[in-house]
């Protein structure tokens, strides 16, 4: 399973989250989940991915097509 920040939140949903934030005095981040199959990687592939992640300041997930 993969999670990402929820895109395209409906106005009603956003309002419910905002109301809860005000009530609780907290900030929330909404996530969406996806059923995806991560790829099996060799140590060399993992090393290449980690190198580019450091360079770009992002996290990458390899998926099977």
* CA distances from residue 4 to 38, 44, 45, 47 in whole angstroms, order as listed: 15, 26, 23, 23
User: Over the stretch 8-60, which tens digit does the pLDDT of each residue have?
Assistant: 899 999 999 999 999 999 999 999 888 888 899 999 999 999 999 999 999 99
The answer to whether 33 and 1 are in contact (CB under 8 A) is yes
Residue 64: helix, strand or coil by DSSP?
Answer: coil
Is 2 a residue whose pLDDT tops 80?
Answer: no
User: How confident is the model at residue 39, as a pLDDT?
Assistant: 94
pTM beyond cutoff 0.85: no
Residue 30: DSSP 8-state: -
């Amino acid at each position: 399973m993969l999670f990402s920040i929820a895109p395209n939140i409906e106005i009603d949903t956003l309002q419910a989250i905002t109301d809860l934030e005000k009530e609780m005095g907290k900030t929330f981040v909404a996530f969406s989940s996806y059923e995806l199959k991560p790829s099996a990687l060799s140590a060399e592939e993992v090393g290449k991915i980690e190198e580019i992640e450091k360079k770009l300041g992002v996290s990458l997930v390899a998926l099977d097509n």
